[in-house]
Amino acid sequence: MRPIKVMFVCTGNSARSQMAEGFARFLGQGQIEAYSAGMEPTRLNPHAVAVMREKGIDISGHRSKLFDEDLARQMDVVITLCGNADERCPILPPEVKRLHWPLEDPAAAKGTDSQVLAKFREIRDQIEERIRDLIQR
């Protein structure tokens, strides 16, 4: 059986989509072919790198990629991660299968460094749980 092709999309293609791609590649070895993209790509957040390393996953080499409709059409599923009211999720072509995981953007967290890291860990753990569920389908 071939791996399912999954694209994770969020507004900035930094924290959420990169963490999702990291978990999918790590946990879904051989089962998932993972990609991530953003509507307005930004650099990878160092907090995302740090909290993923805590799980033994290195995403420091991941790079922001701009969302591409043609690539999305080649996916088995596109998972949108936009969860804040001011974020815009992509409008996907009707033939593209889409799941929506509304997750807060941890990069928007305010507070001390430990409070911000706590938010990144919370979102990271939500993503890990959803990736595990996706693999078990």
Residue 10 belongs to domain with CATH number: 3.40.50.2300
Of the residues 9, 10, 51, 123, only one is catalytic, namely 10
What percent of the chain has a predicted confidence (pLDDT) above 70? 97
Tell me what the pLDDT averaged over the chain comes to: 89
Is 82 an annotated catalytic residue?
yes
Catalytic, 102? Answer: no
The answer to whether 115 is a known catalytic residue is: no
Which residue out of 44, 81, 82, 92 is catalytically annotated?
Answer: 82
Give the CB-side neighbour count of residue 88, counting CA atoms within 13 A: 7
| Token code pair at residue 104 | 């807060």
How far is Cα 48 from Cα 91, in angstroms, rounded to an integer?
A: 26
Q: What is the pLDDT of residues 1-55, one digit of tens each?
A: 788 999 999 887 678 999 999 999 999 988 999 999 988 877 888 999 999 999 9
**pTM for the predicted model, two decimal places:** 0.90
pLDDT at 86 over 70: no
Confidence at residue 125, expressed as pLDDT on a 0 to 100 scale: 98
For residue 38, give the 3-state DSSP assignment: strand
Whole domain around residue 112: which residue ranges? 4-136
Q: Which of 99, 64, 105 is nearest to 83 (CA)?
A: 105
Residue 99 per-residue DSSP state: E
The total number of structural domains that make up the chain: 1
Average pLDDT over residues 52-81: 91
Tally Cβ neighbours within 10 Å of residue 132.
12
